[in-house]
Chains A and B, each alone.
Chain A
Amino acid sequence: MAQATRLSTVAQRRIQSELNEWMRSPPEGCCLESCEPMTSWVVIMQGPEGAGGVRLYSDEVFRVRIDFGEQYPLDPPDVIFLAPAPIHPHIYSNGHICLDILYSGRNGGWSPALTMSKVVLSLRSMLASNTDKRKPPGDAEYCARVGNRSPKLSNWVFEDDKV
């Protein structure tokens, strides 16, 4: 689906190593649906059980798409939920995720030492710690405005560290 991005050798080797690592020990509740081409992964994620046995998402299965860019791992990849995206105050209906580690720049928390295995675990824990299953404020307006463009082009503000 995504066009094959020409990757630097560093990126290729890095993604290959991550892939090997993933195969050796996949992150809990996740498996790879596809990694063809190597620059675009789709991860299947089992909805986690919340703290104290809360079953907010545990009957659901989500799909996460990861698109690596040329500058990976210095630049973060594009990470979005494929439709239907989980209903969560920090996840928009178009799949965009408001999570600092997915973005670099002024207030972003991306680090080149982060791996996709760590990223999907963060996503799962984001779902697990939620207690209020609702859409983010201004969801419809945001989705209408940005459509399918890369989430990295949005200006994110990360203020809620609870969920």
Chain B
Amino acid sequence: MSDDSEEFRSGSEDEEMSDYGASDADMDVEDDDDDYGFAGAEEVSTVPKVPYKVLPKEDLNKQREKALREVMDVLGIDEDTAMRVLRKYKWDSSRVQEEWFSKYDQVRESLGLVDEPGPSGRAACEAEERCFICFDSFPVRDMRSAACRHYFCKDCWRGYITQALSSGPACLDLRCPSTECKQKACVPCALVMELASGEEQSKYSTYMVRSFVEDNSSMCWCTGKNCENAIQCLVDRGPDEAMDVICSCSATFCFNCKEEAHRPVSCKTVKTWLTKNSAESENMNWILANTKPCPKCSRPIEKNQGCMHMTCSQCRFEFCWLCQGDWKEHGERTGGFYACNRFETAKKKGEYDDESRRRENAKASLERYMHYFERFDAHSKAREKARLDASKVSKDWLEQLADITKTPTSQLKFINEAWNQIVECRRMLKWTYAYGYYAFEDADRNSEVARHKGFFEFLQGDAERSLERLHEAAEKDLGAHVTKARNQADGGFDADAFQTFRKNLIGLTDVTAGFFDKLVKQLEKGFSSMEADYAGQVDDGAGPSGVNEGGEQAAGAAGGPAATGTTGHKGRRSKKARGVDEDVVLLGEQGFWTCNKCTYNNQDLTARRCEVCNEARAGPGGGAGNRR
């Protein structure tokens, strides 16, 4: 089934591309539930655009009841039974039906479902029976049993149920306590509810709702802090197939592995990488390769200066880096402070060589890891910072800016857009370093891998450069504008400069999105078909979505041929969301075009080459057709 979802995914992206290239009238087609098609779409897809749904707590019960109702109706069973059988088969109702009809007896037996004997069994109500928990006798009418008719007194049942409830969700599968009960009859929900205290009843109900999410292969809880939403996957996923989801609480994570969202990198790579990062052994390797213990106090010491005369910063012990002997002896015996004879001797004897080779090897592999980890970590931290900044900007600055610039905040949404883009891109970028670490391990030995690595680094470099420009603009330039506007004495707000900044930022946002799209798609596709793909690169740009038709310069100029403006996050970048719908931002109409190579925004719309780097201008017809 993974093929299907794959197909679906690319399908949705195609749609989005068409959306991008479509005319104004189609701009808000994304909000449209009725899929009646729109200009540029080749086929009407019946699959929902987003492969998952966020279910708030309230809807959860409704969905659960719907699932129960379906099974109850089809199998003709009561709610309690439906619940048990659904739990057994992970809430997969088609599997439930299949198993129920094909292995009726087996399924019932495994669940402890026992046919209730006729009412005649209750005839002996007045008779007394012994409760085999407390060993006292009670009239049967004061005792309770599961369908198997092993009677126990109410107090003992209560104790048994309380005990079970305190041991977690397993209480949903509580069985008759009797050792004689060969069928291991299940304890009906009604009996639990009758005897449990109010608090316990709600606990039991909570477990029942939780089961709908926790035992369900197409559901999971949002991992966000204090968030009680559940995510429902609406498509068939292959085993271990990653799926990034965004909850309405703004938490983003992978449905499959519950780690932070990590498209385009696979769950397996993420797991290995994170394990590696947390493994103490890596630190140990570093310490081993770069430090020696102080001969006196044993604290690891990293040598940070050229000479061999070391002084431990902790215990002030002075020693020789090479032989780790007391420095005092060196002065007297060797006569020269920077040569250690004893070390030379040891080296001659071969004592040093093995040791040093081991160190060198460890150092080389560690350096490689450090390269990737440093970048992974830096982008990770930059993303956290960007997240904070983004919320600060949208909370505090936007209103101020609106005041100063006398424009409605809806007109300033491009700033939010830029920040969201930054946060997203930082995330994607950091994971590409985890990918890079594992994907090209053989680059030194295999020329093909080396070529792929080169190409990957080229794409990554493009994306990274572009992101840095965007981030800097959003951070520094915006800050400068705000400061300037606040400081009236300095001439106050410069409307023209702000307009330029606005155009620049929107341009950069699009360009960056383009680069990242290209990178993500390549990574998801793998590099094996790289050569073939890039022979046909020029054609790609025209694509099936008709982006370049109708004189739409936007996408072409924004991100190069293959980049048609999707960022991998559906719906985020609809033009409407950017709040500029009445002032459609097509780059051509902004009075500049962006160079594909250096991303400079050229003011001369007729120029065929970039003013800065002299790269030929990409896109159909060069400067022509940028206005409709």
Query: Which residues of A come within 8 Å of B, CB atoms?
Result: 10, 13-14, 17-18, 71, 73-75, 104-106, 111-114, 118
A113, B170: Cβ atoms under 8 Å? Answer: no
A17, B179: Cβ atoms under 8 Å? Answer: no
A13, B177: Cβ atoms under 8 Å? Answer: no
Interface residues of B in 127-174 (CB under 8 A from A): 132-136, 150, 152, 155-156, 159-160, 163, 167, 170
Contact of A113 among B136, B155, B179 (CB under 8 A): B179
Chain B interface mostly helix, strand, loop or mixed? Answer: loop
Q: How far is the CA of A44 from the CA of B517 in the complex (A)?
A: 77
B179, A14: Cβ atoms under 8 Å? Answer: no
Q: Name the distance in Å between A45's Cβ and chain B's nearest Cβ.
A: 20
A13, B135: Cβ atoms under 8 Å? Answer: yes
Q: Name the distance in Å between B627's Cβ and chain A's nearest Cβ.
A: 70
A111, B134: Cβ atoms under 8 Å? Answer: no
**Please, which residue of chain A has its CB at the minimum distance from the CB of B162?**
A74
Instruction: Contacts A74-B163, A106-B170 given; indicate if A113 touches B178 (C-beta within 8 A).
Output: yes
Q: How far is the CA of A130 from the CA of B611 in the complex (A)?
A: 89
Q: How far is the CA of A158 from the CA of B195 in the complex (A)?
A: 32
A10, B178: Cβ atoms under 8 Å? Answer: no
A112, B155: Cβ atoms under 8 Å? Answer: no
Q: How far is the CA of A111 from the CA of B181 in the complex (A)?
A: 11
Q: How far is the CA of A105 from the CA of B163 in the complex (A)?
A: 10
Query: Which residues of B come within 8 Å of A, CB atoms?
Result: 132-136, 150, 152, 155-156, 159-160, 163, 167, 170, 177-180
A114, B179: Cβ atoms under 8 Å? Answer: yes
Q: Name the distance in Å between A103's Cβ and chain B's nearest Cβ.
A: 12
B132, A113: Cβ atoms under 8 Å? Answer: yes
Residues of A within 8 A of B132 (CB): 113
Residues of B within 8 A of A106 (CB): 167, 170
Q: How far is the CA of A71 from the CA of B159 in the complex (A)?
A: 9
Residues of B within 8 A of A75 (CB): 163
Jot down 30 A-B pairs with beta carbons below 8 A, ordered by A: A10-B155, A10-B156, A10-B159, A14-B133, A14-B135, A17-B135, A71-B163, A73-B133, A74-B159, A74-B160, A74-B163, A104-B167, A106-B167, A106-B170, A111-B177, A111-B178, A111-B179, A112-B133, A112-B156, A112-B159, A112-B160, A112-B177, A113-B132, A113-B133, A113-B150, A113-B177, A113-B178, A113-B179, A113-B180, A114-B179
**Please, which residue of chain B has its CB at the minimum distance from the CB of A109?**
B179
**Please, which residue of chain B has its CB at the minimum distance from the CB of A114?**
B179
Q: How far is the CA of A73 from the CA of B135 in the complex (A)?
A: 11
Instruction: Contacts A106-B170, A111-B178, A113-B178 given; indicate if A13 touches B133 (C-beta within 8 A).
Output: no
Q: Name the distance in Å between A125's Cβ and chain B's nearest Cβ.
A: 14
Residues of A within 8 A of B159 (CB): 10, 74, 112
Q: How far is the CA of A104 from the CA of B135 in the complex (A)?
A: 20
Q: How far is the CA of A113 from the CA of B132 in the complex (A)?
A: 5
Q: How far is the CA of A105 from the CA of B170 in the complex (A)?
A: 9
Q: Name the distance in Å between A106's Cβ and chain B's nearest Cβ.
A: 6
Residues of B within 8 A of A17 (CB): 135
3 closest cross-chain pairs (CB), A and B: A17-B135, A113-B132, A112-B133
**Please, which residue of chain A has its CB at the minimum distance from the CB of B150?**
A113
B136, A13: Cβ atoms under 8 Å? Answer: yes
A10, B134: Cβ atoms under 8 Å? Answer: yes
Q: How far is the CA of A156 from the CA of B599 in the complex (A)?
A: 64
Residues of A within 8 A of B134 (CB): 10, 13-14, 73
Q: How far is the CA of A104 from the CA of B178 in the complex (A)?
A: 14
**Please, which residue of chain B has its CB at the minimum distance from the CB of A18?**
B135
B135, A105: Cβ atoms under 8 Å? Answer: no
Q: Name the distance in Å between B262's Cβ and chain A's nearest Cβ.
A: 32
Q: How far is the CA of A71 from the CA of B156 in the complex (A)?
A: 12
Q: Name the distance in Å between A66's Cβ and chain B's nearest Cβ.
A: 17
Q: How far is the CA of A111 from the CA of B136 in the complex (A)?
A: 17
Residues of B within 8 A of A71 (CB): 163
Q: How far is the CA of A104 from the CA of B166 in the complex (A)?
A: 12
Q: How far is the CA of A10 from the CA of B180 in the complex (A)?
A: 22
**Please, which residue of chain A has its CB at the minimum distance from the CB of B152?**
A113
Q: How far is the CA of A14 from the CA of B130 in the complex (A)?
A: 12
Residues of A within 8 A of B135 (CB): 13-14, 17-18
Residues of A within 8 A of B156 (CB): 10, 112
Residues of A within 8 A of B152 (CB): 113
Residues of B within 8 A of A104 (CB): 163, 167
Q: Which of A10, A17, A18 has the most CB of B within 10 A?
A: A10
Q: Name the distance in Å between B211's Cβ and chain A's nearest Cβ.
A: 16
Residues of A within 8 A of B136 (CB): 13
Q: Name the distance in Å between A27's Cβ and chain B's nearest Cβ.
A: 14
Q: Name the distance in Å between A52's Cβ and chain B's nearest Cβ.
A: 28
Q: Name the distance in Å between A142's Cβ and chain B's nearest Cβ.
A: 25
Residues of A within 8 A of B180 (CB): 113
Q: How far is the CA of A156 from the CA of B163 in the complex (A)?
A: 19
Q: How far is the CA of A28 from the CA of B170 in the complex (A)?
A: 36
Q: Name the distance in Å between A160's Cβ and chain B's nearest Cβ.
A: 21
Instruction: Contacts A13-B134, A106-B170 given; indicate if A118 touches B179 (C-beta within 8 A).
Output: yes
**Please, which residue of chain A has its CB at the minimum distance from the CB of B130?**
A17
For the A-B complex with A112-B159, A118-B179 known, give 7 more contacts whose Cβ atoms are closer than 8 Å. A10-B156, A13-B134, A14-B134, A73-B133, A111-B178, A112-B133, A114-B179
Residues of A within 8 A of B163 (CB): 71, 74-75, 104
